[in-house]
Amino acid sequence: MRSLGNKSNPLNSIPENIPLSPGYPAAKIAETINAVRLHVSGGPAGLVYEQQIQIPPVKAGEVLVRVYAAAITRDELDWPTNRLPAIPSYEFSGVVAALAPDVEDIAIGEGVPVFMVMET
């Protein structure tokens, strides 16, 4: 474990394999993830924990973020059925794990906070 700031605070300790800055060696990218998916709109009852969800390939202009923290808002539980099943989270943070060849303003290993605006 690496320590950031106050060593007695466990929130300031992070595993060695989590990159902290651009240029840090990228970890092997998994082919699948585990995630909470929304299958039925209308509330938390529509959420299902799933394993072995295929990670889609990175397309032009995109980056793949290894998510370490995410939040689900009430609005996301009411997504239209034509968007389901989906992994909800307008807000998350993590580390860039892969990027498309045309992406130049961010690097693998760079930490990112994400606040998305979804089109309806």
Amino acid 14 reads I
Cis amide bond preceding 85, omega within 30: yes
- Per-residue pLDDT band at 17 (split at 50, 70, 90): low
Cβ contact 15:99 at 8 Å: no
Cβ contact 47:38 at 8 Å: yes
pLDDT tens per residue, range 81-116:
888 999 988 899 988 888 899 998 888 888 888 887
Q: Which residues contact 53 (CB under 8 A, 6 or more apart)?
A: 32, 33, 34, 35, 37, 87
> What domains can be seen in the chain, in order of their start residue?
30-115 (3.90.180.10)
Average pLDDT of the chain is 78
Average pLDDT, stretch 58-86?
89
Global pTM value: 0.68
> Angle at the Cα of 48 (from 47 to 50), degrees rounded to 5?
145
